A and B are shown apart, each in its own frame.
Chain A
């Protein structure tokens, strides 16, 4: 069975500090990987997607970056946090191009103070 693990579960960080969120998918080779951001009580905004190792495409510009150093790992980061970065970050994977059945991690709650 495939599992998706996100870390950390929650973070409280200061404005201007760096951030690194991680995601690991086990049990599935060469998945398509995604990062989503959800404001409190809001909809989901796709941030990045990756089809293969080393390749990441940005969907929106939020002063964040993403990397895929291994087939099963997806990292979201920034060198300098803004208050607007607060929210819920979800990592997800899918098998194919149809992108209709996407499997989500449990998310990371980020509070920037």
Chain B
């Protein structure tokens, strides 16, 4: 069974700060990992994904994420946040074979203060 854990329900930072949103997963097989952003009351937008290769992947709007097999993690980072980055961020995992299910974490609400 695949599980995704986002330990921080809320993160608050100031504009210009760096931020890291944490994601840990549990799965025994080969997986894809991804991050999505959801602004209030709207659908989700894809940020970035990882399957293999360079463990640091670049996404849109200056976001990057780093995969760690030893820690079973896929944390999302941004060096300098803007107020418009305030949103809910979801980590997701899917298996490379078998189920067609995309499993989401519980989400982290990022609030960027001016």
Contact = CB atoms under 8 A, between A and B. Distances in A.
Interface residues of B, number: 24
Contact of A43 (B46, B96, B100, B105): B105
B51 A32 contact: no
B106 A105 contact: no
B49 A43 contact: no
Nearest to B107: A43
Interface in B12-60: 32-34, 36, 41-46, 49, 51
Q: Of A51, A101, A103, A109, which is in contact with the most chain B CB atoms at under 10 Å from its CB? A: A101
Interface of B: 32-34, 36, 41-46, 49, 51, 90, 92, 94, 96, 100-107
Interface of A: 32, 34, 42-46, 49, 51, 57, 59, 90, 92, 97-107, 109
Contacts of B104: 43-45
Given A34-B102, A43-B107, A46-B102, A98 B43 contact: no
Contacts, number: 61
19 contacts: A32-B100, A43-B104, A43-B105, A51-B100, A92-B43, A98-B51, A99-B32, A99-B100, A99-B102, A100-B49, A100-B51, A100-B102, A102-B36, A102-B102, A104-B36, A105-B43, A106-B42, A107-B41, A107-B42
Contacts of A101: 34, 46, 49
Nearest to B103: A46
Nearest to A106: B43
Contacts of B102: 34, 46, 99-100, 102
